Amino acid sequence: MFFPPGTFERKEEKLGREVRAKEICRTCPVKRPCLDYAISIREPHGIWGGLNEAERKGLLTQAS
């Protein structure tokens, strides 16, 4: 659920998968270190620290 499947995924399926993953992240005790790691390595895929690829990219853009 944290990463896209190996097959085609419709937009509504992706959004649902991401909502489920983010709900798990919401209460995770290592949410911030997870997000910090994904940003530090510029991870291009998946939900990390409660954020998807576009959201992490937005953080990087804001920080520049």
Q: How many structural domains does the chain have?
A: 1
Q: Is residue 46 assigned to a domain?
A: yes
Beta-bridge partners for 38? none
| Model pLDDT for residues 3-62, shown as the tens digit of each residue | 999 999 999 999 999 999 999 999 999 999 999 999 999 999 999 999 999 999 999 888
- Which residue range(s) make up the domain with 31? 11-63
| H helix runs in 1-64, sequence order | 11-26, 31-40, 53-63
Q: Is the pLDDT of residue 1 over 80?
A: yes
Asked if residue 39 belongs to a domain, the reply is yes
- Residue 14: its pLDDT value, please? 96
Radius of gyration of the chain (CA): 12
